[in-house]
A and B are shown apart, each in its own frame.
Chain A
Amino acid sequence: MDFVRSHIMVCTGTGCSSSKSPEIIERFEEELKAQGMDKEVKVVKTGCFGLCAMGPIVLIYPEGALYTHVTVDDVKEIVSEHIVKGRIVERLLHKEEEDKEAVTSLTDTEFYKHQHRIVLRNCGAIDPENIDEYIGIGGYEALGKVLTTMKPQEVIDIIKASGLRGRGGAGFPTGLKWQFTHDAVSPDGQKYACCNADEGDPGAFMDRSVLEGDPHSVLEAMAIAGYAIGASQGYIYVRAEYPIAVKRLQIAIKQAKEYGLLGENIFGSGFSFDIGLRLGAGAFVCGEETALMHSIEGYRGEPKNRPPYPAVKGLFDRPTVLNNVETYANITWIINNGPEAFRAIGTEKSPGTKVFALGGKITNTGLVEIPMGTPLRTIIEDIGGGVPKGKKFKAAQTGGPSGGCIPASLIDTPMDFDSLGKIGSMIGSGGLIVMDEDNCMVDIAKFFLEFIIDESCGKCTACRIGTRRLYEMLDKVTKGQATLADLYRIEELCKYIKANALCGLGQTAPNPVLSTLTHFRDEYIAHVVDKRCPAGVCKDLLQYTIDPEKCKGCTICARNCPAVAITGKVKEAHVIDQKKCIKCGVCMSNCKFGAISRK
């Protein structure tokens, strides 16, 4: 075994990879070689640290120096200063705010201080492509313990006692699900333990990060589930849009098989378990369990009526347990630390933690894992660092196209399954999009409906046609053509779709509309009655105009207008041709004199 004196951890999650972290790693390896230090310093490609806004991220141990916004050109300096001379490169250290002092340690940041990491415990800490590192920090111990010392029912009892609820959105108790599948009788004895990694909710990327940063924790948990319910085969249904996650899963499955941790007779216990990978093909509805199983079987991903539930008749008509990636990532921790330790975190009815993907108008975009029941305010103000550019926090959207908005007035709402349900939103898969005063809530509701129309499978009328009619009515609102009676019709149709759609996707589709109508009714009324969009988003309701008093005739606006809609002579006031204007706002953002206004 090689002994190394220093580890350079470089994030290779999707966010940092997009900002050139693979090139940074290459450069590190070249530089270390040039210095003759490639044997004593190791470069580790890790999963996501969560602090995506600050990427690419480089963390160097043993000092624990956290460098952010690192570029390929910075590598030489880091190697020659930090690695060779032992001097920290102050310039690149993470700063929480421009004028604040640099933070040297990861755990000292406001971003990490409030977090409690169970699901993301290994993300950023190990090389996900090396099974030895996972085993080195206690990986596959839980599987060993389960297979050699416990009966299936004992495993299920532990999961039940932990109170773990499904992290995919609905929050169904995981232990119960396993019990039902365990109790179901299969005609030929075959059962399946599957993993839902079809993370379709736009704005949620925690499952992707777990698969990219810690794939073995999911494989290990699936084997445990297989043992508990009596399944010898598992499938992971993962989005094809996540190429890095797919590649790391393939590597992880191969390594686990080579080590005998998957396959025949694991740990000599007589229990065999194999995992197959199936790639999704871009259909949101495949996140619904029955649709997902149809898709694995090779058909169109259309849901079917329940009951019978998958626990009784699922994949290939056999009893099947299907859990989300984040749910699985909790399992080994619970086995190793006991259900009481898990219950000690979070709230009574929602124990444990939840990972949120923080995005939108927030300073620290990224992944955060917090105990259930943490108030939204902590996430937005402390962890997220507030809304940038001094704008006002308006609302947070959770649960994606199935969820709703939490308005600024309810910022102290605890984030757990039941509290969010009470105010008409949901935790969903954990997407948390922050919106400021520049976001129009009618437009957001319309955006989600457009998504649903695109993604509706078309099987039931309520969803296929209902959501389209709903979209058309909202479109009228954003164009200033609606009446107050339309608002009433919108609400009626929402209730109808909720009551009549076949699957969860359709039943929850009206939620973004209902929730914005509840919390931001004033904004709808402004569109309908005053023909005005208070946030200045709905293009049909606003106009860009140049104030001739303020315009100096510098021609910048005219030169930058993509639609050639601005005319005027040098040093004379310019005019916007409203017929040609596409309302892109480029003129306003380029004007140095504040002469252009949007109303």
Chain B
Amino acid sequence: MPNTKTAVPFKGTKEQEEQLREVIRQYKDVPGATMPIMQAAQDIYGYLPEEVQIIIAEELDIPLSEVYGVASFYAQFTLNPKGKYRISVCLGTACYVKGSADVLTAIEKNIGIKTGGITPDGKFSLDACRCVGACGLAPVMMINDDVYGRLTPDQIAPILDKYK
């Protein structure tokens, strides 16, 4: 999945920064604190822009390359902001054999973006994910925290209409 630097200007607030520095203070002496801090940072900002990575690197006194290395390694971390509605379609094996690839194509068609992208109005972002563990309901997609199961491509339009 492409995870290149975002062109969206950084809009972090003072409160967010204060929150982040507080988290870092809490974790500072815990061995292996980098990841829990980055996970908290992503919860605060929604993504991990360069500005946030710099704060983490400076506070922990580690090279920025190390923070960036971790941020770009794990699928959970994103360098780009996500949409208001985050759609993720499960491409785990159980969903795949029941046709989740067709579901994904139907969504791409419907909102006019490719997997990994975000609509120009920032409303929807689309990702493929690997197994949410709801294999009994395959094929499955999630829109934010709502799970939709036993999907077919023709159910996509009515579901997405609810969010438009």
Give the contacting residue for B1; candidates A280, A359, A397, A454; CB below 8 A: A454
In chain B, what residue has the closest Cβ to A512? B93
A205 touches B36 (CB 8 A): no
Q: How far is the CA of A585 from the CA of B106 in the complex (A)?
A: 11
Residues of chain B within 8 A of A585, CB atoms compared: 102
Q: Are B129 and A241 in contact (CB under 8 A)?
A: yes
Contact B93–A447 (Cβ < 8 Å): yes
Report which of B38, B106, B138 forms a contact with A359, defined as CB distance below 8 A: B138
Establish whether residues B32 and A53, one from each chain, have CB atoms under 8 Å apart when the complex forms: no
Q: In the complex the two chains form, what is the Cα distance from A448 to B91 in whole Å?
A: 10
Q: Mark A351-364, 1 if CB is under 8 A from B, else 0.
A: 00000010111000
Among B69, B76, B149, B153, contact of A282 (Cβ-Cβ < 8 Å): B76
State whether B133 touches A208 (Cβ < 8 A): yes
In the complex, what's the smallest C-beta–C-beta distance from A234 to chain B, in angstroms?
13
Indicate if A316 sits at the interface (CB-CB under 8 A): yes
Determine whether B31 belongs to the interface, using a CB cutoff of 8 Å to chain A.
yes
B33 nearest in chain A by CB position: A298
How distant is the Cα of A356 from the Cα of B115 in the complex, in angstroms?
A: 31
Check if B105 sits within 8 Å of A300, measured CB to CB.
no
Partner of A202, one of B36, B38, B130, B149: B130
A240–B70 CB distance below 8 A:
no
Q: A53 contacts which chain B residues (CB < 8 A)?
A: 136
* A77 vs B77: C-alpha distance when bound (angstroms): 46
Establish whether residues B32 and A297, one from each chain, have CB atoms under 8 Å apart when the complex forms.
yes
Separation of A296 and B138 alpha carbons in the complex (Å): 32
- State how many angstroms separate the Cβ of A198 from the closest Cβ of chain B: 11
Q: How far is A301 from B38 in the complex, measured between Cα atoms in Å?
A: 15
The answer to whether B93 touches A297, judged by C-beta atoms less than 8 angstroms apart, is: no
How far, in whole Å, are A100 and B155 apart by their CA atoms in the complex?
31
A14 touches B132 (CB 8 A): yes
A14 and B102: CB pair below 8 A? no
Evaluate contact between B76 and A584: CB separation under 8 angstroms.
no
Residue A283 at the B interface, CB < 8 A?
Answer: yes
**Chain B neighbourhood of A14, CB < 8 A:** 132-134
Question: Which residues of B (20-44) have their CB < 8 Å from a CB of A?
Answer: 31-36, 38-39
- Contact between A359 and B93, CB atoms less than 8 A apart: yes
CA distance A64 to B142 in the complex (A): 34
Q: Once the chains are docked, how many angstroms separate the CA of A199 from the CA of B73?
A: 18
Partner of A298, one of B32, B75, B133: B32
B93 with A365: CB separation less than 8 A: no
Measured in the bound complex, the distance between the Cα atoms of B164 and A410 in whole Å is 50
Q: Is A488 an interface position by the 8 A CB rule?
A: no
**In the complex the two chains form, what is the Cα distance from A560 to B34 in whole Å?**
50
C-alpha gap A296/B36 in the complex (Å)? 9
User: Residues 65-108 of chain B: 1 if any A CB is under 8 Å from the residue's CB, otherwise 0?
Assistant: 01001100111110000000000000111101110001001100
The answer to whether B132 touches A241 (Cβ under 8 A) is yes
Report the 5 A-B pairs with minimum CB-CB distance, sorted nearest first: A52-B136, A202-B92, A359-B94, A282-B75, A281-B74
Q: Using a CB–CB distance below 8 Å, which chain B residues touch chain A?
A: 1, 31-36, 38-39, 66, 69-70, 73-77, 91-94, 96-98, 102, 105-106, 109-110, 129-138, 140, 147, 149, 152-154
- Interface contacts beyond A203-B92, A278-B35, A281-B39: sample of 8 additional A-B pairs, CB < 8 Å, sorted by A: A55-B136, A202-B93, A205-B135, A281-B74, A282-B74, A282-B76, A454-B1, A562-B110
- Can you list 10 residue pairs at the A/B interface with Cβ under 8 Å? A18-B134, A19-B149, A199-B133, A297-B32, A298-B35, A359-B93, A366-B136, A433-B94, A447-B96, A584-B105
